[in-house]
Amino acid sequence: MVLAKDSKLGQNTPYIEWNIYTEPMMINGEVWVLYPLVEHGVVRDVFGVVLNDSRNLIRTYLISSETEYYYEFKGKMSAALEQLGKPKTEQLSYNRGMMAKVRCTDEEICGIDEVVITVPRPRKFETFVPKNVAIVSHENPLECLNFHDCFDWNIGGGGDPKPKDHQYPCKKVSDKLNNPKVTPKINELKNNAKLNGEKGFKIKANGEPSAMIDGGEGSHSVNMGDMSGYEGVYHNHPVNGTPMFSVQDIEGFLYLALLQGVGNYGNAYSGMIGADHCPSCPGNYKYHHYIMQF
């Protein structure tokens, strides 16, 4: 899934710098990757993305400053961010294995800019209460996972107090997907998931879907265009692709949430449908239907 250039954020809008990240860390069966949260050109916080041990739930956190090595990570990310902004091509080597390839100017040609921070020691992260939540279900996204089991409320210093009662997180999105204008398009994506190509559509706040957007035969992406005025997006992955949200899908979802404006981030949601060949399944396909809800 690709957002158009028209959807760029303002210069001073907080954003996740996806080109700077730690190597994946396995902690209690979960996969963690840390990124810098940047505002006004500086690293403001350390942002964590977690894939649970069952590989069916994505969570995001702000890492508490009381976590061991928090300032070490933040310092290295700040140094890497400064280097990424320099208009030249060179490689920098930092202690403990962090590598940086800095950005090029428009006139130069270079590879993908990235910084990977190696993590040689086991980590335990203290976190704030999640700032956004991705709830996904393999078979039916309208049957949400047990919300009581979604989080380990391991609150770090400065975190919000543990809530007394969890709220059911999926009702708002499930109501939108039961819209008779939206359901046929979801079924079209399900059928397309058996083929070699991606399609997608957008959904406005009033539930009105856009026309279906075709990525083309054999495509592994679909350009969704300008997302202004939309709060939901849906697409399929081709049968020869990975039936799970990609990094680009998650990045696009976070941008979509920011486009909703302050106080309305929770309106954003993103859906994906994939299919696998399955001789023992009805129709010889097993479908994977995921939803991310902010």
pLDDT tens-digit series, residues 222-274: 888 888 899 999 999 998 788 888 888 888 888 898 888 888 888 899 999 99
Q: What φ, ψ does residue 280 adopt, rounded to 5°?
A: -90, 0
Closest CA to 271 of 247, 291, 241, 285: 291
Q: In this structure, are strands 25-27 and 132-134 parallel, antiparallel, or unpaired? A: unpaired
Which of the four pLDDT bands, split at 50, 70 and 90, describes residue 115? low
- β-bridge mates for residue 288, sequence order: 274
Considering the entire predicted model, what is its pTM? 0.47
**Any idea what the Cα angle at residue 258 is, between residues 16 and 27, rounded to 5°?**
40
Looking at the chain, the number of H-run helices and the number of E-run strands are: 4, 15
What pLDDT does 117 receive?
Answer: 53
**C-alpha span between 10 and 285 (Å, rounded):** 43
What pLDDT does 149 receive?
Answer: 33
Closest CA to 126 of 163, 164, 149, 158: 158
CA dihedral 170, 176, 179, 184 (to 10 degrees): -80
Of the candidate ranges 160-164, 169-173, 230-234, 277-281, the one whose mean pLDDT is the lowest:
160-164
- Decide if 110 contacts 69 (C-beta within 8 A): no
Which of the four pLDDT bands, split at 50, 70 and 90, describes residue 156? very low
Query: How many CB atoms are located within 10 Å of the residue 5 CB?
Result: 8
pLDDT at 101 exceeding the cut of 90: no
Give me 32's structure tokens.
Answer: 């963690």
Domain 171-293 CATH assignment equals 3.40.140: yes
Tell me which residue has tokens 């299919």.
275
**C-alpha span between 237 and 213 (Å, rounded):** 13
**C-alpha span between 272 and 236 (Å, rounded):** 5
Q: Where are the domains of the chain?
A: 9-149, 171-293
* pLDDT mean over 1-29: 67
Q: In this structure, are strands 269-277 and 230-236 parallel, antiparallel, or unpaired? A: parallel
pLDDT at 30 exceeding the cut of 50: yes
- β-bridge mates for residue 270, sequence order: 233, 292
Of 47-61, 152-166, 169-183, 266-280, where does the model show the most confidence?
Answer: 266-280
What pLDDT does 269 receive?
Answer: 92
> What is the pLDDT of the chain when averaged over all its residues?
72
